[in-house]
Amino acid sequence: MSILLKPDDAGRTLSEEEISNQVVTLFLAGVETIASASGWALCVLALRPEIQQRLHHEIDTVLQGKLVEMEDLPKLPYTKGVILESLRMYPPGWLLTRMTTADVRLGDFDIPANTAIIYSPFLLGNQSGAFDEPDAFEPDRWGTQTLRLNAGSFVPFGDGPRKCIGDTFSMVEMAVMLTAIIARWRIEPRGTVLRPLERMSLLLTPRGLKVSLSARQPATEK
């Protein structure tokens, strides 16, 4: 808000309507996306107890029962891996668009200027060949394993000048949320079916899986 309210170098300010539009955009773009990405991570953790157990171990060891601080984040690589894997396999923005501004050759295709292009972070993350065993939810692939990250194959936040303005913020918000929940709760599935898409919709959101939570003590509070 302070940036939006501040005059630019030439002393110009945004109108109230422009500021209001920006705030609405930030809310619209920043709430459901995070909810969906976090929902996917929690569903996967419910279905994969061994991954949840490793996350419990990392969070208990590093945070020792306290809430996460900025300086803790680099010490939580497995947590980050869980978030990145969720975004790779289930990017909330699964279909994105671009308009070509000039004639361009893309792979085997000549595309004229002013063509609408649709591309999918979902397909790029799951079927582009950039990731070994793409069907496996494997948080470790983001750390120790060699990752063949072809430019543009991991784009849950889009890319280029229109890339999500909230990308870094989102990674921090999801880490704060995930560590706070996982430290104090054990998640169990009440079913086995997790459906990505029931019908065409703007966001890829988890459907069909109910989970239950049981309280746990972070390790150092026992």
Judged by the rule CB under 6 A, the positions of this chain that interact with ligand HEM are 25-26, 29-30, 33-34, 37, 91-93, 96, 156-159, 162-166, 169-170
Nearer to ligand HEM, 34 or 181 (CB): 34
Minimum CB–partner distance for residue 217 and ligand HEM (Å)? 29
Cα–Cα distance between 115 and 111 in angstroms, integer? 7
* Closest-CA residue to 154 (of 188, 128, 184, 187): 128
Q: Give the residue with the Cβ less far from ligand HEM, 74 or 160.
A: 160
State the Cα–Cα distance between residues 188 and 42, nearest whole angstrom: 10
Select 34 or 111, whichever has its Cβ closest to ligand HEM: 34
Q: Which is nearer to ligand HEM, 28 or 136 (CB)?
A: 28
Q: Which is nearer to ligand HEM, 158 or 218 (CB)?
A: 158
Check: CB of residue 187 under 8 Å from CB of residue 211. Answer: yes
Report, in Å, the least distance between residue 141 CB and ligand HEM. Answer: 19
CB of 155 to ligand HEM, least distance (A): 7
- Whole-angstrom CA distances from 117 to 59, 114, 182 are 42, 9, 39
Rounded to 10 deg, the angle between the 167-184 and 77-89 helix axes is 110
Instruction: Give the CA distances from residue 81 to residues 29, 58, 99, in Å, rounded to whole numbers and listed in that order.
Output: 23, 12, 32
> Which residue, chain included where needed, has tokens 């072809």?
150
CA atoms within 13 A on the CB side of 43: 23
Q: How far apart are CB 185 and ligand HEM at their closest, in Å?
A: 21
**Minimal CB distance residue for ligand HEM:** 158
Q: How far is the CB of 34 from ligand HEM (least distance, A)?
A: 5
